[in-house]
Structure 1
Amino acid sequence: MDTIYQEIESTSEWLSKFGADCEGGITRLLYSNEWLEAQHALLEKFKLAQMRAYTDEIGNVFGQVKGSFYPDEVIMSGSHVDSVVNGGNLDGQFGIVAAYLAIKYLQDTYGQPLRTLEVVSLAEEEGSRFPTVFWGSKNILGLADNDAVSDIVDKDGIKFVDAMRQCNFDFKAKQQGRNDIKAFVELHIEQGAVLEIEKYPLGVVSSIVGQRRYTVTLKGEANHAGTTPMGYRKDTMYAFSKICHESIEKAQKVGDPLVLTYGKVTPKPNTVNVVPGETEFTIDCRHTDRKQLVDFTEELEQDINRICQEMGIEANIDLWMDEDPIPMDAELVDMICTTLDERNLHFKKMHSGAGHDAQLFAPHVPTAMIFTPSINGISHNPAEKTKTEDLTVGVKALADVLYRLAYVE
């Protein structure tokens, strides 16, 4: 595997050309020209590696090495090819590069596997162009709702359907999940700093956090900043500050793995000399345990209503995302841990605080994830970076796991 290091660098550099933007990052959005060029290039790359390369109706790209004894049992690995706007060149993309290199190495070294190996370049995960997510994996699993995307548009008013058909793809005639996938393993950068801080070269993901997201609108009274005494104000920014301070202190007392974020705050009229009569803000709360997530956020809702009632302010609380935590397959996780132990590889068993395609696969297919460290925990940013040495360890670990799954009885 001594060539893996060089192949990671050259393949990543090659794929990063598709969608490279003027700000030093990658912008490769679903059904854009840059996205289409990347998928076509990967299709040709897989063909050159003597894989059976093909696309499905909506644009997922696959490279397959047929199994000799169990051809209908597919061991799949890969990730998403789309990016955020001005993103880095590892999120999603590295999972595809890693799966391709691991499978190519296994094929070159051990020949035909017993079970079919398949790399997948998933069409979309990020939701960066259209208000929909996991379009690639949903279609593989038969979970896509075509009606839900029929009328959605991007920021330029281009319809999802028109963009898809412009790329010569279309809806599946029938939403039916594949029944040949026997395991899905996704290699991904951590997108956090835990592995780097704790000096682990690898993470084995045991679960993906559940998420609850809110948009909260507080309505008070806009008034003159100079002539309205403090005691007569219905200041929604003051109410927000009390909510934010109180809830974050509670979250800190609960501790890991609970996380709470106020990511967007919009006061109105948002000018220097007017008491803000309306403030809209978002809440993002995550936990690996469903009950604890719900208990904490329901208490948070009660606290918002209490604070606002005390201040004479109206609160509208909209819970618009409520996703359960997703455990990875325990048997597959144990097998990965055993494999890494046998290779004397130092790893941390951990949860993922971010969402991934693996969470879509997990309820339907035995699924697991492996993390490599992220320098300074940076992701969704051109500065996103991982040492090539760590990426190499990740590809080798993935190859070892895929070997066990596809070459061993």
Structure 2
Amino acid sequence: MIEQPKLSALSGQVENLIEWLASYGASEAGGVTRLLYDPSWRSAQRAIESRMAEIGLLPRYDDAGNLFGRMAGRDPEARVVLTGSHVDTVTGGGKYDGAYGIVAALIAAEYLLARYGPPLKPIEVVSLCEEEGSRFPMTYWGSGRITGVKSREETAGLADANGVTFERAMREAGFGFGRHPAPERSDLECFIELHIEQGQILEREGQSIGIVSHIVGQRRYDITVTGESNHAGTTPMRWRRDAMSTAAALISVLMNRANEDGAGLVATVGRMEVKPNVGNVIAREVTFSLDVRHGDAAVIRAFCEECFRAFDVIAAEHGTSVAIRKWMDEPPVAMDEGLGSAAEDILRTAGIPYRSMTSGAGHDSQVFGTFCPTALLFVPSRGGLSHSPAEFTETEDLERGVKLLIDLLHKLAY
């Protein structure tokens, strides 16, 4: 393990930079809102660009708005070791999600450059332009453009809640004109993302670091139940074709079977739309969302198939019909075993408690994970809270993550 600053020497730097980045998009309620290409997003990217230049990195944007700070390598043929995370937030989100990975990468790069000089392989810190999908119905725009899995054509017709089109927002922010290099990269050796867990496992088990082995697969559906509207007072229960009653029975099937699953599958119904949505009228139509996640695609498939067979039976019993629309089917993505083992070696030598784990949330690492060797590393989240102003990670845990990143970058690039 390389010589590093003591934890106490890092504490002020980590805390100050977290607060500094959180000031861009801060609200009076304590949350942070930086949506793709909005004024707070632009200010944050410009501030990070200035910080990169101050610590000796060469900053540049690509044409999607991803920001890179390059530490040139001594080997002109070497591929890039990329590290960072996303700068955007959800509306009213916390100050650590995404931002911590950028701050940690800046601190690590500054320390390595000052202590050891230029690396053998180039290191780049990236502030990815978008991951959350909070402004437009498009997630992983930043990492997706770098890896080539997202295209400009996919944004056609997309608009935010105020009717501003994706194309207009991008151009108002200064991107999409071809003035910057094309986003697609072919020179990456690996990607390392340091992130808060956004869950409770590390905190509950007293572990300081999580080394992610897989990011779970996700399926998302819109499920619509169609029945018949009728008078709430004059229609006997046995003659009703009640879409709401059917939907309740279907959701009960989902929750009961998910609770019975012993392999860690999770199922969530988080949104519901009812028509005509009147208190004294039997519901004619109910549409609800379904989100299913697990580390094994076969488990997800079997769960959905079993539940959907039960749906048909229940709908027939209620005199209603069910239509199922699948709009997301993301397979599980494995992180690189070699990078994970390198992180484990560092943690064992330092005597830092850690565990291998899966990620139940999606991250840019799942996009990079099918493109180049990728490592996703977690630090604890207090109470598992995230996407909230209450999001918090102890400074000592933030510092340990930065120290791990310093060691890992040194091992890979020096």
Q: Normalization by structure 1: what TM-score? A: 0.96
Cα distance in 2 for residues equivalent to 1:280 and 1:172: 42
- Aligned partner of 1:340 in structure 2 is 347
- Aligned partner of 2:108 in structure 1 is 102
Give the aligned residue type for 2:43: E
Cα distance in 2 for residues equivalent to 1:358 and 1:203: 14
Question: 166, 171, 176: which is aligned to 2:172?
Answer: 166
Q: In 2, are the aligned partners of 1:218 and 1:279 still within 8 Å (CA)?
A: yes
Question: 252, 268, 292: which is aligned to 2:275?
Answer: 268
- Aligned partner of 2:43 in structure 1 is 37
Distance 1:106 1:213, change over 3 A: same
| Cα drift, residue 171 of structure 1 | 5.8
2:116 paired with 1:83: no
2:63 paired with 1:63: no
Cα distance in 2 for residues equivalent to 1:140 and 1:382: 30
- Aligned partner of 1:139 in structure 2 is 145
Q: Could you list the per-position Cα deviations for residues 359-383 of structure 1 after superposition, in whole angstroms to 9, with x for gaps in the alignment?
A: 1101111001100111111111111
Cα distance in 2 for residues equivalent to 1:261 and 1:316: 18
- Aligned partner of 2:158 in structure 1 is 152
> What secondary structure is seen at the aligned counterpart in 1 of 2:97?
coil
Question: 312, 315, 338: which is aligned to 2:319?
Answer: 312
Cα distance in 2 for residues equivalent to 1:392 and 1:121: 20
2:217 paired with 1:210: yes
Cα distance in 1 for residues equivalent to 2:50 and 2:124: 15
Tell me how many residue pairs correspond in the alignment.
Answer: 407
Q: In 1, are the aligned partners of 2:253 and 2:307 still within 8 Å (CA)?
A: no
- Aligned partner of 2:393 in structure 1 is 386
Question: 228, 235, 249: which is aligned to 1:228?
Answer: 235
2:43 paired with 1:8: no
Q: Could you list the per-position Cα deviations for residues 70-109 of structure 1 after superposition, in whole angstroms to 9, with x for gaps in the alignment?
A: 5632111100001111111111111100111111111122
Distance 1:285 1:171, change over 3 A: farther
Q: Could you list the per-position Cα deviations for residues 268-302 of structure 1 after superposition, in whole angstroms to 9, with x for gaps in the alignment?
A: 22232222221110000001001111111122221
- Aligned partner of 2:52 in structure 1 is 46
Cα distance in 2 for residues equivalent to 1:269 and 1:119: 51
> What secondary structure is seen at the aligned counterpart in 2 of 1:50?
coil
| Cα drift, residue 310 of structure 1 | 1.7
Give the aligned residue type for 2:100: F
| Cα drift, residue 23 of structure 1 | 2.1
| Cα drift, residue 12 of structure 1 | 1.0
Consecutive aligned runs of 4 or more in structure 1 exceeding 6 Å deviation? 173-176
Q: In 1, are the aligned partners of 2:273 and 2:287 still within 8 Å (CA)?
A: yes
Distance 1:171 1:285, change over 3 A: farther
Ranges in structure 1 where 5+ consecutive residues have no aligned partner? none
Q: In 2, are the aligned partners of 1:143 and 1:177 still within 8 Å (CA)?
A: no
- Aligned partner of 1:404 in structure 2 is 411
Q: Pairwise CA RMSD of aligned residues?
A: 1.5
Cα distance in 2 for residues equivalent to 1:296 and 1:245: 14
Give the aligned residue type for 1:16: A
Distance 1:304 1:329, change over 3 A: same
Moved more, 392-401 or 262-271: 262-271
- Aligned partner of 1:74 in structure 2 is 80
2:234 paired with 1:253: no
Distance 1:380 1:176, change over 3 A: closer
Q: In 2, are the aligned partners of 1:8 and 1:388 still within 8 Å (CA)?
A: yes
Cα distance in 2 for residues equivalent to 1:258 and 1:206: 16
Q: In 2, are the aligned partners of 1:80 and 1:121 still within 8 Å (CA)?
A: yes
> What secondary structure is seen at the aligned counterpart in 2 of 1:227?
coil
> What secondary structure is seen at the aligned counterpart in 1 of 2:122?
strand
Cα distance in 2 for residues equivalent to 1:337 and 1:310: 54
Cα distance in 1 for residues equivalent to 2:234 and 2:338: 67
> What secondary structure is seen at the aligned counterpart in 1 of 2:153?
helix
Cα distance in 2 for residues equivalent to 1:385 and 1:10: 14
Cα distance in 1 for residues equivalent to 2:77 and 2:364: 24
Give the aligned residue type for 2:276: P
> What secondary structure is seen at the aligned counterpart in 2 of 1:238?
helix
- Aligned partner of 1:283 in structure 2 is 290
| Cα drift, residue 172 of structure 1 | 5.5
| Cα drift, residue 400 of structure 1 | 1.2
2:40 paired with 1:27: no
Give the aligned residue type for 1:250: R
Q: In 1, are the aligned partners of 2:86 and 2:98 still within 8 Å (CA)?
A: yes
2:310 paired with 1:327: no
| Cα drift, residue 336 of structure 1 | 1.4
What is the aligned-residue identity percentage?
Answer: 43
Ranges in structure 2 where 5+ consecutive residues have no aligned partner? none
Q: Could you list the per-position Cα deviations for residues 123-146 of structure 1 after superposition, in whole angstroms to 9, with x for gaps in the alignment?
A: 001111111111111121122211
Q: In 2, are the aligned partners of 1:208 and 1:354 still within 8 Å (CA)?
A: yes
Q: In 2, are the aligned partners of 1:58 and 1:171 still within 8 Å (CA)?
A: no
- Aligned partner of 1:364 in structure 2 is 371
Matches within 5 A, 1:191-210: 191-210=198-217
